[in-house]
Every structure is written in C-alpha cells, then in structure tokens.
A and B are shown apart, each in its own frame.
Chain A
Amino acid sequence: MKDIFFDLSVRSVKLNFLRSLLASIGIVIGVVAISSMGMLGTNMQLSVKQQLSANVNTIMISSDVVRTTSTAGVTAAAAQGIDKSTLNDIKTSVGQNDVIPIHRGNTQFTIGSTDGRGSMYGMDPNDITKFLTIDQGSNIKGANDALVGPTIASNFNMGIGSRIKIGQNCATIVRPTVRVAGILTTRGFAPDGVNSDNAIIVPDTWYTDHYGGKDVYDQVNVIVQDISKINETEAAIDKKVNQHTQTVRIQDASSRLSSISSTLGTITTFILAIGSISLVVAAVSIFNVMMMSVNERVQEIGILLSIGTEKGEVRRMFLYEAFILGVIGAGVGGLGSLVIGYSVVSAMIGNTTYFFMPESILYVPYGMIIGIVVCLVSGLYPAWKASNMDPIDALRAE
C-alpha cells in the first residue's frame, strides 16, 4: 500500500529540494562523525588489546617503592632492586615456570659518528629466546655481543657485526664497545615491560660489569606456562616474598590490559560525545527546515484538516518528511562513514585489520539509526504544531 501522506511528504521534499538537501547535510556530517569516531575508538581498542594479549602470560615483579622519612623531614621515594634472596624466593614459589631476571636502564651510545639514546637491558642470553624472537643474525655468544631492536637498528643503520660505543660521547674517555650479533623482530608496545624495539640487549654480566648492581635486578618476569594458573602463581609469589613486608610489586599484563582498555573506552566515549555535538547542530537545522515547511504550508494544512484529515494523519505527514530527510542524510552519511572511517582508521592507527569486524563496522548502522532518530525527534514539535492548527485560521492564511 502506498500511503498518500508519504507521497505528499516526498513531493514536499522534492519541491524544496535544495533546502531539504542542505538540512540533510547536517545529518550526513553527524552520522559520519559518530560512526567514524566510534570506529576509530573501537579499532584503537582492538589493536591495542591484540598487542597486549600476546604477552598476558607474563607476571612482572618489580621492587616496591620504599618510602623513608629522613630526620630532616624530607620524604624521599626510592626504588630498590630485587636482591638475590628475593629472586630465590620467587624461583622456589613458581615451580616449573621460567623466571627471567632483568637489568634495565637507559644509555647514550655512538655508532660510527652518530650519537643516539636508547634503553638498555641486561639479561642471561639463555633467557632472551624464551620471550624474544631474533629476526636476523644470532643470539649473543661472546661477552661483548649484543642484540638490538628493529627500530634502533633501522634508525642507526645497524647491521650484523656493527659496533656500538656505549656511554656518553666524551673525548677523554674510552668507551666500551659491543658488537651487534642479532636484530630482534618488532614487538610494539610490550606489556611485559621489555620494550625491545628501541633497545640494546646485552648479557647480564656485561651490564653489571659496567653499571654495577650485580645480583640486584630491576625487574623479574615470570612466564607462566598455564595462563589459567596465573593468579595462583601470583598468590604464591606474594605469599612467599611479601610475607613480612611489602617487598615487591606483582603485576600481570591482564590487569594492565583491563586498565588500558577501560582508559581507551573512556577515550572512545569522549570522542563519540564530540561527534554527537555535530548531531545536535544537525537536529537544529532539521527542526528549522521542518518549521519552515509547516509555516509555508499553513493553508494546505487548513485544507487537509477542513476536508476531514485526522490530526494524527497530519502529524504523520510531517514525521514522514523528517524521516525522509533522515533517511537521505543517514544513507549518504553511512556511505561517507565507510570511506572516511576507513581513511581515519588507517591514517591514525595504521592498521585496518579490525575495521570490518562487527564491533567496529556496527557503528555505521548505529550512526545511521541515531541520525534518523534525531530527525524524527526534531520533527516532533513541527508535526504537533501542524496537526493542532485551527482549520479556519489555517485556511485564511495566505
């Protein structure tokens, strides 16, 4: 059944084509804003989650911050390392799982004539391959061998056999040199705390020979074989090590994962809210156009009412008109969201793997529905106004 009131609305929209088009553009922008913002946020969350969840089986143990109040009343916070006995306690409490003690710091270095700065990790070469992958070359063999991350390697043109002078560039001091034995694969953001992409990894002996801190580690990672036992293992460590005093802080990536996800969720909500502002603007323009339509058609409304059109039918006619504007705007906006959303995601995240996943792509229909609903809501008052006109007054209008 073709509804005559729908026909009338279509004709009214056609008659005022330009005006209707302009009003719809507001909705187009609103839908695009909401959809692409939503997709951006979701893709960000999905890709970060994916990176994080690769290493959720790692427990990170670091020395807890110890607060000491000096007699002068100055409060100093200092992080102590994890000493040998604590390390042994950890080892005995985790059973068969791998325990990886890590030294960590920052250093300046020189390669050829270029100076740089990066992170430095010291660890047992046998531990390295338990959680890092070597892309080129081989693992550390000699005492002066090192592995480098892919970012640092490409930034400084390092290859296998390159020599890096470690320490601040100073004419009067002869600096120790390490030789690049291998280059690691890209890790991205590492939830186990070993951000190796921009780092130099040296044997723990080399590290403590040059920086001291032998048998005192900055961090100890425990790689849990059975992920379902991670909480149990953490509890065991806690019981053993933090028995009398809070000695170490025990974290795992899953708690970080959830805290980062919730932060990203907040960010997504925030950018969605910004997108919604454009819909408010769109609502105002639809309202305006609908009021114009009602005011221009006063006499026509008078005719409709005087020959027996029900109020509800007059309302319906104007709501159809708002609906048509909404559908046009939402349709164009939906297509625009796909194009613009895809571009924004690929430009800002650099990864469109998740774009077509339901969590992300559903923002397009959501945005469209919201756009249409906004139009209908904006049309409510104009439609109500039209249907409640006095037919005689409306007929007399010129």
Chain B
Amino acid sequence: MVEIKVEEALTGLSMSEFPLIRLADVTKVYHLESGDFKALDHVSLDINDNEFVAIMGPSGSGKSTIMNQLGILDIPTSGELYIEGKNVSNMTNLERTHIRRDTVGYIFQKFYLIPLLSAYENVEYPLILKYKKRDTTGKAAAVLKSVGFDEELSAHRPNQLSGGQQQRVAIARALVNDPKIMLCDEPTGNLDRKTGFQIMDILVGLHNEGKTVILVTHDPKIAEYAHRIIELEDGRIVAS
C-alpha cells in the first residue's frame, strides 16, 4: 500500500526532477535470538545527482545498514528504494548484481581488496565482470595512475601495501566502471589523519567530476567536506 502511494506521488515529477536515490519509508529489521531489532526505522531520504552527503551518528546507529541499502547489498524489510527511478525490490537478483557492478562504487573502512589478486588485477576485476574479458583499453592502469599508483606498485598484492595505499586501490576499483554513485563507509576510519585527508582530496576531486558521493564518518573534520550532513540515531534520521 505504501508502494502505491509513493508511485502516485511520483507521477507528477518529470524524469529530471526525480532524485538519483530515494529511500521511501525504509525499515530494516534484524531477527535476533533476543528478539527483533530495528536497525533502520522508517527512514525516508532523497539524494540528488552530484550531491556530496555525509552520514554521521554514533556507533550502532545504522549508518552501515543504510549504506548497504543504498549499495543494494540488502533489501529493506519494508519500504522502497529507488535508484535512477527504478524500484530495487522489483529487480531480479541478477539485475541488482549488475547495478552493484555498474552504477555503484563501494568503498569500505576495511578496504576489502581481493587478497589473491594484485593491485592492478583488483582494479581490472570490475571491468572483467562487466565486459567478460581482460582489459586491453588501459583503463585499469589509468585509474590506478589517477590515485598515484605506477606500474611497479600496481603489481603488489594487498598485503604488501599500506592502509592508505590499499584504500587508493579500493577507490580505483570502485571508480573503474565509472559509477554514478560513490558509497564510502568510513573510508578514513582505518587511516591516520594525514592519509585520511589525502583520501578525502581524492573524493572531493570525484565529486567535482560529477559523481554523487555519500560518505559515512564519525569525524566532524571529515564531514566538513560534505555539502549536506544527515544525522542518524537509533535507526532514525534526526537531522538533515
């Protein structure tokens, strides 16, 4: 019923007015042994193309949970998520996988590089997923170069790289398929301050190039980079 109301509300909007991302009354419930736990509690949120949004809030307030919704790693218990006007709940598993591959670039606090692959191969990987063949266009190398990786460094495996270097590779990997949306869940959380600001400079550059950047952080200094700050508490938006 909620869905019908939202669709009706949307019919009046032209395509250009439609937000890039719309969370409509999204609730996420985890079923635990100790009972049901509402990690997101009726959250509604619009994010437009080329916004730079920071999501802040105490630990456990649901920041990662909301990011996982936006990254379509998860589906809402109730409510709807629209990406580029398309309702994610109506998609097949394969379509959702393809959105993760083509439209969203996800950067994590723990980098999450593929340990068996070199830096270069980690960045080439999403290209292979998309085009089903090895990269011959030099795109992977070019993106790595833009985050300060030369050929020699690109041959290293993740465990041979520092945290800052790993996060650069992760950014390059997220960027390589030219996604509209960059989701960054505490990207500086495991880095020292100086390295953290270097990473933020890269993200600012991406925003200037036209990407929509959504950033989760505890750090007010980091949040200052954003143009809009959303505060979460106990799964609810308390300031926006």
Contact = CB atoms under 8 A, between A and B. Distances in A.
B170 to A, nearest CB: 10
A310 B97 contact: yes
Given A1-B133, A2-B134, A391-B73, A308 B114 contact: no
A240 interface: no
A304 B173 CA distance: 12
A307 B173 contact: yes
Given A11-B116, A392-B74, A395-B112, A4 B100 contact: no
A222 to B, nearest CB: 74
A296 to B, nearest CB: 11
Nearest to B133: A1
B114 A303 contact: yes
B113 interface: yes
Interface in B91-137: 93-94, 97-102, 106, 108, 112-117, 121, 124-126, 128-130, 133-134
A300 B116 CA distance: 9
A300 B126 contact: no
B195 interface: no
B94 A392 contact: no
B129 A313 contact: yes
B131 to A, nearest CB: 11
Contacts of B117: 4, 7-8, 11
B121 A307 contact: no
A21 B129 CA distance: 30
Given A4-B121, A4-B134, A311-B97, A306 B112 contact: yes
Contacts of B102: 308
Contacts, number: 66
A171 interface: no
Given A1-B134, A391-B73, A304 B114 contact: yes
A391 B100 CA distance: 12
Interface in B50-89: 68, 71, 73-74
**Residue from B68, B101, B129 whose CB has the most chain A CB atoms within 10 Å:** B129
A298 to B, nearest CB: 12
A309 B133 contact: no
Interface residues of B, number: 31
Contact of B97 (A2, A15, A308): A308
Nearest to A9: B116
Interface in B114-172: 114-117, 121, 124-126, 128-130, 133-134
Interface residues on chain A, size class: 20 to 34
A308 B73 contact: no
Contact of B100 (A12, A300, A308, A311): A308
B97 A4 contact: no
Nearest to A14: B116
A308 B100 CA distance: 5
A94 B146 CA distance: 100
Contacts of A299: 112
Contacts of A308: 97-102, 126, 129-130
Contacts of A302: 112
Contacts of A304: 114
Interface string A261-282: 0000000000000000000000
Contacts of B97: 305, 308-311
A303 B128 CA distance: 15
A299 to B, nearest CB: 8
Interface in A279-336: 299-300, 302-311, 313
Interface in A5-47: 7-8, 11-12, 15
Interface string B19-35: 00000000000000000
A300 B110 CA distance: 12
B50 to A, nearest CB: 22
Contact of A307 (B101, B116, B124, B133): B101
Contacts of A303: 112-114
Contact of A15 (B98, B114, B116): B116
A4 B112 contact: no
Given A308-B98, A308-B101, A311-B97, A12 B116 contact: yes
Interface of B: 68, 71, 73-74, 93-94, 97-102, 106, 108, 112-117, 121, 124-126, 128-130, 133-134, 173-174
13 contacts: A1-B133, A4-B128, A4-B134, A8-B116, A12-B116, A300-B114, A306-B71, A306-B73, A308-B98, A308-B99, A308-B126, A309-B97, A310-B129
List the 4 closest pairs (A to B, CB-CB), nearest first. A308-B101, A308-B100, A11-B116, A303-B112
Given A1-B133, A4-B121, 12 more contacts: A1-B134, A2-B134, A4-B117, A4-B125, A8-B114, A300-B116, A306-B112, A307-B129, A308-B129, A308-B130, A311-B93, A392-B68
